[in-house]
Amino acid sequence: MTELRLFNSLTRQLEPFVPVHPGEARVYTCGPTVYNYPHIGNMRAYVFADTLGRVLSYKGYKLTHVINITDVGHLTDDADAGEDKMEKMAAEKAQSIWDIAKHYTEAYWADVKALNIRQPAHWSIATDFVPAMIEFAKSIADKHCYQLESGLYFDTSSVANYGALARAKTEDGEGRIEEVEGKRHAADFAIWRKTPEGETRQMEWDSPWGKGAPGWHLECSVMSEALLGLPFDIHTGGIDHREIHHPNEIAQNQARCGSDHSGAKMWMHNNFLIERSGKMSKSSGEFLRVQLLIDKGFHPLAYRLMCLQAHYRSELEFSWEGLQAAFVRLKRMVMASVALQDAQPATTVDDKRIAELFERFDTAISEDLNTAQALTALEELLAMKKVDAGQKLLALAQMENVLGLALLTTTRADLRVRPKSALITAEEIEAALTTRKEARAAKDFARSDAIRDDLIAKGIEVMDGDPLGWDWKLDI
């Protein structure tokens, strides 16, 4: 097996993966803030983290993956003066924060399942860790924090090289952070946000710095330490976190454990999914979430495939045409895989051609998760003729475990996702097509054309002679 090399945002270099604890891989992923549905861009971050986890498992490491659920503390603008996203949504909807959190956590988990993202060892819920956050803050308060009327603030000048991950100079570049009266440096951030006099928040806890709620950055330092121990191997998140959230986590970890200690050995970031018309904004009417793709007739794994076609560090532009192309590619893979499923999987691969192909797959995935090349190897495997089906199936299962496209469990019928707006069911379509076949056999072309026209009117394109034998598709 090729050595696994990953791009570490700390050094901006590819580095071999060397675990902190031999044989183990401990990974922490910044999870969603559950004030709204995740958009498909957010889900790209979890497809990436899942693929990383799958690769680590495939490489033989015992994986402990933690993804947190942020149900307190994340402010509307990453600044210290905004509102808590959860409080704001709860007020807008006139619901309790706990109900909001439950609803959107479940919606997020549904997307996780739809995208075949494996369950992590722990879903850590931020509000379960507030006492631990207070303890952590107490342990660093004297040396690294100062108190203002609005709460306890972290002094970013108290640790070495603050902001190194972002490559930001300490003072400049932090204009994004709205000024809070009395802050010593623009980049200083709230560890504890005191509830203003005369206000009550739905979520507040007693602390040495007054009744209030923890700062968002504190959560991840505390939960990663509690569940993985510091230092652990890899911390992941979207590229936006490289600028503020993760530098702040690192500063807290340095305060807790010493300045040469960033908390995780590697920090990895996925680039953004871009959508130019603004449909990814959670406030837009038809906002781009996994359920919208399903409602439009796409299988959610077509979106996973779309993510895997790009390198995780590249921007990926979303388009419906791109998704459609990924869907067709997925259909091809599923059909080739279905054709293999009656074979008995072999226990070893000794066929030279399969072994060579597998080596290419391994090399690709080992070089900072080159999933695009790995997919090509998988397709070549599926297309291979005159090889032992059992060995082919074994190699497919191994590749599949890494890419997570559910190729061994998805059927042709599963891929027929019925759009919400469809006027006809899959069974009705199949029945119409059978009648049409009979009409054609009887040379009753008027009838066969009438059936076809009727299907077109209902949004079904009949695909006579489709090389994949796909017979019909929804006109999406």
Structure tokens at 297: 């007739």
DSSP 117: P
The C-alpha angle with vertex 362 and arms to 359 and 367, in degrees rounded to 5, equals: 130
Q: From 39-47, 169-177, 258-266, 467-475, give the range in contact with ligand AMP by CB under 6 A.
A: 39-47
Among 42, 64, 207, 448, binds ligand AMP (CB under 6 A): 42
Nearer to ligand AMP, 45 or 451 (CB): 45
Distance separating alpha carbons of residues 10 and 86, to the nearest angstrom: 31
Q: Should residue 273 be labelled a site residue for ligand AMP when binding is judged by CB under 6 A?
A: yes
Distance separating alpha carbons of residues 406 and 401, to the nearest angstrom: 8
Beta-bridge partners for 367: 5
The neighbour count for residue 399, using CB atoms within 10 Å, is 23
Q: Should residue 125 be labelled a site residue for Zn ion when binding is judged by CB under 5 A?
A: no
Q: Identify residues 417-456 at the interface with ligand AMP (CB under 6 A).
A: none
Structure tokens at 47: 């497809």
Q: Should residue 272 be labelled a site residue for ligand AMP when binding is judged by CB under 6 A?
A: yes
Q: Should residue 240 be labelled a site residue for ligand AMP when binding is judged by CB under 6 A?
A: yes
Q: From 40-48, 188-196, 328-336, 371-379, give the range in contact with ligand AMP by CB under 6 A.
A: 40-48
Chosen from Zn ion, ligand AMP, none, partner binding at 272 (C-beta under 5 to 8 Å by type) = ligand AMP
Q: Strand, coil or helix: what is 271? A: coil
Residues 6 or more apart whose CB falls under 8 angstroms from that of 168 comprise 174, 187, 243, 247
Among 27, 115, 220, 375, binds Zn ion (CB under 5 A): 220
Amino acid at position 395, single letter: A
Distance separating alpha carbons of residues 380 and 240, to the nearest angstrom: 36
| Residue 249 CB, nearest approach to ligand AMP (Å) | 13
Nearer to Zn ion, 78 or 351 (CB): 78
Q: From 19-27, 37-45, 194-202, 218-226, give the range in contact with ligand AMP by CB under 6 A.
A: 37-45
Nearer to ligand AMP, 155 or 243 (CB): 243
Q: Identify residues 24-53 at the interface with Zn ion (CB under 5 A).
A: 30
| Residue 358: φ, ψ to 5° | -65, -35
130, 214 Cβ separation under 8 angstroms: yes
Nearer to Zn ion, 223 or 429 (CB): 223
Q: Should residue 215 be labelled a site residue for ligand AMP when binding is judged by CB under 6 A?
A: no
302, 309 Cβ separation under 8 angstroms: no
Chosen from Zn ion, ligand AMP, none, partner binding at 220 (C-beta under 5 to 8 Å by type) = Zn ion
Among 6, 27, 45, 152, binds ligand AMP (CB under 6 A): 45
Count of chain residues binding ligand AMP (CB under 6 A): 14
Strand spans (E) along 139-287: 145-148, 151-154, 189-194, 212-214, 232-238, 264-270, 273-274
Binding site for Zn ion (CB under 5 A): 30, 220
Binding site for ligand AMP (CB under 6 A): 30, 32-33, 41-42, 44-45, 237-238, 240-241, 270, 272-273
